[in-house]
Amino acid sequence: MKKIFSTLFMALTAVAMMAQQPVITFEKTEHDFGKINEADGRVSTVFEFKNEGMAPLILSNVRASCGCTTPTWTKEPIEPGKTGTITVTYNPNGRPGRFQKTVTITSNASEATKRVYIKGEVIPKAAKPANKYTISVGALSMKSKTLDLGTITKGESKSGELEYANLTKEDHHVELSAYITNQVTLADIKPEQTGKFIFVIDTKDPKMYGPQEGYAYVVIDGKKEIDEAHKLTIKANVVEDFSGLTVEQKQQAPIIEVPAEFNAGKIAKGKNLKFYFPIKNIGANALEIRRVYAADKALNVKQPKAVKSGKKGNVGVEINTKDMTPGAYGREVVVITNDYLNPIKRVKINFVVE
């Protein structure tokens, strides 16, 4: 009997002690910020709580699950029936996308640990011009200094543009010193403004076939500097259009025969190696040589005249070995003709520098 009375007394005592403890309750335990802009900076929300117990409520610690989330809270004791607040601030800088964070509250309440939550989605800030215009050209900044216009059919013209920006704090005047047709859209450019260099390649010149390059130099505030830092390169590949040939013209068309490889022999270092390789026309009409070139500047080529039906011509080549080390080499010579089936032929030149 005494044991039962003792147990009942302890239970009643525990209930009495719990009744005298503080009790923490929240109006809300979750906040959705929705979509927020990274560029707008920190956002905050307030969680209000109430002490519904019989003793003062003390928050001993409030901590967030991430350093991007900062809580501040009522530090003084909250008397029974009174309220306090926890302000939670989220920093979206450098954190695009969805997020969900937890804030843990530790107190002397009957439920010693409580949690509240924040969530939302960060819309990333727009890229600044400095992130796009990364190449310095004097006082200007550009995305690229090279414009590739791709393939152009012979006789046509094609235009393209290169963008520039003024990322300085001063006004500037912009011009171009160019070898091809060009236009500057914003000559007097203020800070944060952008403009365009527009270039046109016209292929009516009868000698324009194959890869082409043109150059321009950016002139800023009247100061003309012909150097790599201010140089712009404009590229294109000019091809002949054979789509209009009739059946008869195709039957009478020239046909080129040229070796895929040519062995030029040996040469002592520092000497020039001169030789010829043959071109033959086995078609009916004359084979017109549009262009012969080598990408390697150590090779100089001499273009032959048109080759009549059944005849041969010779492509002259001179190799300057001044800057070459001893060893075996393979270099390419490109021949462009009016053979509609094979307008471009490549000949590999093999030689040895001793």
pLDDT digit of tens for each residue in the chain (354 aa)? 555 545 544 544 444 455 589 999 999 999 999 999 999 999 999 999 999 999 999 999 999 999 999 999 999 999 999 999 999 999 999 999 999 999 999 999 999 999 999 999 999 987 665 568 999 999 999 999 999 999 999 999 999 999 999 999 999 999 999 888 999 999 999 999 999 999 999 999 988 999 999 999 999 999 999 999 999 999 999 999 999 999 999 999 999 999 999 999 999 999 999 999 999 999 999 999 999 999 999 999 999 999 999 999 999 999 999 999 999 999 999 999 999 999 999 999 999 999
DSSP secondary structure string for all residues of 149-199: EEEEETT-EEEEEEEEE--SSS-EEEEEEESSEEEES-SEE-TT-EEEEEE
> How far, CA to CA in Å, does 81 sit from each of 50, 58, 77, 263, 265?
7, 13, 12, 102, 104
22 in helix, strand or coil?
A: coil
Angstrom distance (rounded) from CA 240 to CA 340: 9
Q: What is the pLDDT of residue 126?
A: 76
Confidence at residue 239, expressed as pLDDT on a 0 to 100 scale? 96
Per-residue confidence (pLDDT) for residue 14, from 0 to 100: 47
Q: What are phi and psi of 255, to 5 degrees?
A: -130, 120
Side-chain-side CA neighbours of 321 within 13 Å: the count stands at 19
DSSP lists the bridge partners of residue 335 as 292, 345
Q: What is the pLDDT of residue 188?
A: 97
Q: In the 8-state DSSP scheme, what is residue 229?
A: G
Cα(241)–Cα(338) distance, integer angstroms: 10
Looking at residue 5, what is its pLDDT? 46
- Listed in sequence order, the residues at least 6 apart from 246 whose beta carbon sits closer than 8 Å to its beta carbon are none
Residues 186 and 195: beta-carbon distance below 8 Å: yes
Which ranges in the chain belong to alpha helices (H)? 2-19, 129-132, 247-251
**174 neighbors 218 (Cβ within 8 angstroms):** yes
- Please give the single-letter amino acid code of residue 37: N
The pTM score is: 0.62
Q: Which residues sit opposite 292 in a β-bridge?
A: 335
Output the pLDDT for position 117: 97
List, edge to edge, every strand of the sheet that includes 289-294: 261-267, 344-353, 327-337, 289-294
Q: What pLDDT sits at residue 20?
A: 81
Scanning 186-288, the segments in alpha helix (DSSP H) are: 247-251
**pLDDT for position 132:** 85
Run of H or E residues at 235: strand 231-239
3-state SS assignment for residue 20: coil
d(CA 339, CA 281): 9
